[in-house]
Structure 1
Amino acid sequence: MKEIIEFRQTGSENEDFLKLVIELEKHLTNADRKAHSECKQYNNLETIKHVIIAYIGGIAIGCGAIREYDTDTVEVKRMFVSIAARGQSVGTKLLIELETWAKQLGFKKCILETGNMLPDAVRLYKKNNYVQVPNYGQYKDMEKSICFSKEL
């Protein structure tokens, strides 16, 4: 029997979110220490107000967030699914929850940045109809960054 995934909207001060971010940071450092250290400065949790956490059986197994980029656009941030919970479409479901919330808040587009050292993340976004775009903002000159966009 497949376990039910529950999603909860919260903020960046949530303890479960902070624990998942620690796991995410370790994962990103292991994937590419240099690239992660360059991008880390752009992941300030204080600027993130909208977080969704995925739970199975009361245990936090994944997270994602959206942060206002401009009046029409949110940036997807801090997407992570713990290794034990992968392969259950949690990432796709989290992304859909984030997109739905963004639409409810009046946004028309999602953008995001990931790295070429994270092929699973790249596949997730492509599978969910995100289109690769030229690197934006602070990621413009980062050769390992890959940026995506999706109209909501």
Structure 2
Amino acid sequence: MSSELPPRLAPLDPGHPYAQRLIALSEAYMGALYPSESNHFEPADGLRPPQGSFYGLWRGEQLVGCGGVKHFDADGYGEIKRLFVLDSERGRGVARQLMAQLEAELIERGVRIARLETGIHQPEALALYRRLGYVERGPFGGYTADPLSAFFEKVLG
């Protein structure tokens, strides 16, 4: 039996050094998969209240995953941004827990649509979003059509 600590989900400032480390790892990962014009990195300030929020999932003292949502209340949706999980934690439900928290926050704000953009070279992410009930759609907001991007939307309960 493992004596591993249960994960702890908590709000996190995206400028925190631990968050910045995961964000840097995410950008390096995306940079290896896609050309710069196909990467749409949200600055940390865009994921701070009131225009957004950011969460981290901790296992003990280690931040193992993070994700945020940018609020587009006037347009009636929130956009999931910066979802990233350490390689060692993938397949353990970390992304699912983060997504549930982000969706719950949108519902609490009265927002009923969650949208996101991800890349086509991330089969695990694509499968996760589909399992969570996201359906493909066209570009939204400031995005333009990109053959390397996949756009998703989910109507929240």
Same fold (TM over 0.5): yes
How far the C-alpha of 1:151 sits from its partner, in A, is 1.1
Letter in 2 for 1:134: G
Offset, 1:17: 1.3
More helix by share: 1
Aligned mates of 1:41, 1:125 — CA distance in 2: 18
Gaps of 5+ in 2: none
* TM-score in terms of structure 1 length: 0.90
CA distance in 2, matches of 1:12, 1:105: 20
Deviation at 1:139, TM superposition (A): 2.6
Q: Distance in 2 between matches of 1:140 and 1:134?
A: 9
TM-score by length of 2: 0.87
Deviation readout 1:106-147 (Å, 9 max, x if unpaired)? 211110000101111111100111111112233322111100
Give % identity.
Answer: 25
Residue segments in structure 1 that go unaligned for 5+ positions in a row? none
Deviation of residue 150 (structure 1)?
0.7
Contact 1:6–1:55 (8 Å) recurs in 2: yes
Where does structure 1 differ by over 3 angstroms across 4 or more consecutive aligned residues?
39-42
Q: How does 1:1-152 map to 2 (within 5 A)?
A: 1=2, 3-32=5-34, 34=35, 37-40=36-39, 42-49=41-48, 50-71=53-74, 72-152=76-156
Once residues 27 and 103 of structure 1 are traced to their aligned partners in structure 2, the CA distance between those partners, rounded to angstroms, is: 30
Report the count of equivalent residues: 149
For the aligned residues, what is the CA RMSD?
1.6
- Whole-Å Cα distance in 2 between the matches of residues 114 and 54 of structure 1? 21
Shift of residue 5, structure 1, vs aligned partner: 1.0
